[in-house]
Structure 1
């Protein structure tokens, strides 16, 4: 069992997370942030079936602590965490990405700076989910370009 799978299975701990004073619990969220950063950068290889459980278990807790972590901990690089989180979120299926990103979008609209900015992941998912399906429908072999001149 990998550490990521073990961490994703910590449902009891995540249930207690909001009851722990933020001064201490942000260290728990740092573990999730470091895992997502390492997965996103390719520093650790994690089976696909472990990534979504990690995100679905710990992402809300990370969101709750992100603003405090950003302000209080000098060892947290906000941009690095956001980039790693974005890349990790884009690895599960499109449907799983949708669940994660729509939940993030609601939270981001209400919390703003206290929520990680993973807009890049949202935009990539949007293009893959919606724009891609319309370009796949069109058969580009039938595409014709017509050039005309306007009367002057």
Structure 2
């Protein structure tokens, strides 16, 4: 499982020019599911996304030590499925998506991931699985990290 975590001031996702998910301060999570992923990878990734200290203490104006998690600040989450995170561009000129989970499996694990994040009590918005989406991200910092957890 791969997740691109972006600390944001705001973020939104649209489908056919309609806003379907929108958040203020928090995290934008772009989520890629591998064919080998299981609930164990989901559990690890949920905890990591919720517990990572990516926000400064109040009054530090974004330049102090990152002492707070999205839970600590009561932030919001925008979760967008992104199978292209498993695109392999090492050969040829067209990416291969062989490591991405098949759509049915990916949808199931993605929905479980979102449900587990919602158990935190934070506001969680989503994109539309499998749709052509536009994601607008006001990255804060900018802070962008890649989390990866392989089945094993």
TM (norm. structure 1) is 0.30
Structure number with the higher helix fraction is 1
TM (norm. structure 2) is 0.30
Structure number with the higher strand fraction is 2
> Highest CA radius of gyration, 1 or 2?
1
Q: Which structure ranks higher in relative contact order (CA pairs < 8 Å, sequence separation ≥ 6)? A: 2
